[in-house]
Structure 1
Amino acid sequence: MCYADDARPPAPPVQGPVGEHGDLVLESADGTRFGAFHAHPQAPSNRAMVILPDVRGLHGFYQDLALRWAEAGLHAVAIDYFGRTAGIGDRGEEFPFREHIDKIDFVKVGQDASAAIAWVREHTEATSVFTVGFCFGGAMSWRQAASGDDLAGSIGFYGVPSRVSDVVEDIAAPLLVLAAGQDFTPVAEVEGFADRVRRNGVEVAVHVYPDAPHSFFDKTFAEHRDACADAWHQQLAFVDRHAV
């Protein structure tokens, strides 16, 4: 498991007022309805972030993260993974996510993310859309760079490269890889994945936090405050470099 119910994302370095936000129901290419949460900055913005959660799906951490991205000036949509197997509902700690995550089809996750990308383009003025994911969602975010969605870039925390190996040749959007040195995925494996993508002419930025554990991007981890601040800096700089 990645984030528990008491985990919360750290605040971005620049915080503006948040406008409209709340629950959302989206429809995937196969007709599946699934839950999502959207948040928007009060000020106009041509940038958007689609958030791919950890294995628990859309729980409080990711609703808060959508609000944090809106504070940072981006439209944000966080999606759930379990519309096909669990319907639309709460994904708190009582939700038996392990019964459902094993039924996940990576292609279907990509279709759900594509639906969120299409929604944010239709309902906002966004011309540059990015994805960010954590743990399971980190790999799903990198996979989305191969989706043909014309993304401006894809960011992944704690992703497992083997979950992306079948689409490496199709990755077209720039990647930002944020890795924890004390994670269960060896840093060498992450760097090898980045090199494979670079060989296809795609930009990949890798930032490793040597002393940080899995799930370090959490404001309740006071000892990792500096890593959290730098991770925000890396994400916002990546967005600035690739937004159009």
Structure 2
Amino acid sequence: MSGERMRLTAADGFEFDGYVARPQGKSRAGVVILPEIFGVNSHMRSVADRYAEWGYLAIAPSVFDRVEPGLDLGYGDDDVRKGQALMKLIDWDGAVLDIEAAGRAVAEAGKVGIVGFCWGGTAAWVTAARGKGFACAVSYYGNAIPTVLEPTPRIPMMLHWGERDHLVSKEKMLEPARVAPATIVHFYATGHGFNCDQRDLYHAESAALAQQRTLAFLDEHLA
């Protein structure tokens, strides 16, 4: 299955791209896939494609377009450094507007959820707290969440952490559930980035279990 590009417009008039993957037949719901610091690269497109295979109308918005249009990085050292630098330029207010625009683009499918990874995992938390139009959100290893704890999510939230994540301590991983006790938190015996099957960080067993839990969570809140 392959997706298509869609032009999106945020509430402030900013135009940017999104990658849309459509299911065969009727959509069960909509889902916004939020990327790591590498942009909507081949891995993020494959994630959107998989959600479409599971029946979701999926969109991966190019939320880095405000600072670097068309960001599509690999996983080399230079890519990591560039992604980290660009991440620091992202304004949360603009990011939430873009994520909301992506949500509106798939709202034809019904309720809309968010699934975000790394930077996108933090963005999922922020949007769940500040954004509108979403029924639930899932974060994979959103290591910067402890820096943006307030306000807390207003919709059901699930967090996946690799307990050996080199970017955030276990103590910090516990803080989101402390400030938002309704948050569902899962820990895995692995490190950061365990869902990315294009990196050495990939941990198949943890990725499969997290995916199972995520799909059940989405089914509960988007059905």
TM class, shorter-length: 0.7 to 0.9
1:80 is the counterpart of 2:66 = no
Seen in structure 2, the aligned counterparts of structure 1 residues 166 and 45 have a Cα distance that, compared at 3 Å, is same
Aligned to 2:218: 239
Distance 2:172 2:119 in 1: 16
TM-superposed CA distance for 1:224, in Å, is 2.3
Distance 2:84 2:179 in 1: 31
Map Cα deviations across residues 68-97 of structure 1 (whole Å, 9 max, x no partner): 10011111000112222233x352337743
Distance 2:222 2:169 in 1: 31
Q: Determine what percentage of the aligned residue pairs are the same residue.
A: 29
Q: Give 1:185's match in structure 2, choosing from 161, 168, 182.
A: 168
1:48 is the counterpart of 2:2 = no
TM-superposed CA distance for 1:31, in Å, is 1.5
Seen in structure 2, the aligned counterparts of structure 1 residues 219 and 239 have a Cα distance that, compared at 3 Å, is same
1:92 is the counterpart of 2:73 = yes
Contact conserved, 2:193 with 2:201, CA < 8 A, in 1? no
Seen in structure 2, the aligned counterparts of structure 1 residues 161 and 118 have a Cα distance that, compared at 3 Å, is same
Contact conserved, 2:49 with 2:58, CA < 8 A, in 1? yes
Aligned to 1:37: 19
Contact conserved, 1:135 with 1:157, CA < 8 A, in 2? yes
Q: Give 2:4's match in structure 1, choosing from 10, 18, 22.
A: 22
Aligned positions, number: 215
Distance 1:83 1:238 in 2: 30
1:102 is the counterpart of 2:88 = yes
Q: Give 2:124's match in structure 1, choosing from 116, 141, 153.
A: 141
Contact conserved, 2:32 with 2:102, CA < 8 A, in 1? yes
TM-superposed CA distance for 1:223, in Å, is 7.5
Q: CA RMSD in A?
A: 2.1
Q: TM-score, normalised by structure 1?
A: 0.81
Aligned to 2:148: 164
Distance 2:205 2:89 in 1: 37
Aligned to 1:63: 45
Aligned-partner residue type, residue 219 of structure 1: D
1:218 is the counterpart of 2:196 = yes
TM-superposed CA distance for 1:107, in Å, is 1.1
Secondary structure of residue in 1 paired with 2:174: helix
The more displaced of 142-151 and 70-79 is 142-151
Contact conserved, 1:75 with 1:120, CA < 8 A, in 2? yes
TM-superposed CA distance for 1:222, in Å, is 9.6
Distance 1:40 1:24 in 2: 12
Secondary structure of residue in 2 paired with 1:37: strand
Secondary structure of residue in 1 paired with 2:220: helix
Seen in structure 2, the aligned counterparts of structure 1 residues 214 and 86 have a Cα distance that, compared at 3 Å, is same
Map Cα deviations across residues 4-34 of structure 1 (whole Å, 9 max, x no partner): xxxxxxxxxxxxxx5x721122111222111
Secondary structure of residue in 1 paired with 2:130: coil
Distance 1:98 1:146 in 2: 24
Secondary structure of residue in 2 paired with 1:78: strand
Seen in structure 2, the aligned counterparts of structure 1 residues 179 and 90 have a Cα distance that, compared at 3 Å, is closer
Distance 1:176 1:78 in 2: 19
Q: TM-score, normalised by structure 2?
A: 0.88
Seen in structure 2, the aligned counterparts of structure 1 residues 92 and 223 have a Cα distance that, compared at 3 Å, is closer
Seen in structure 2, the aligned counterparts of structure 1 residues 222 and 181 have a Cα distance that, compared at 3 Å, is closer
Specify every segment of 5 or more residues in structure 2 that has no aligned partner in the other structure, as ranges. Answer: none
Distance 1:206 1:84 in 2: 31
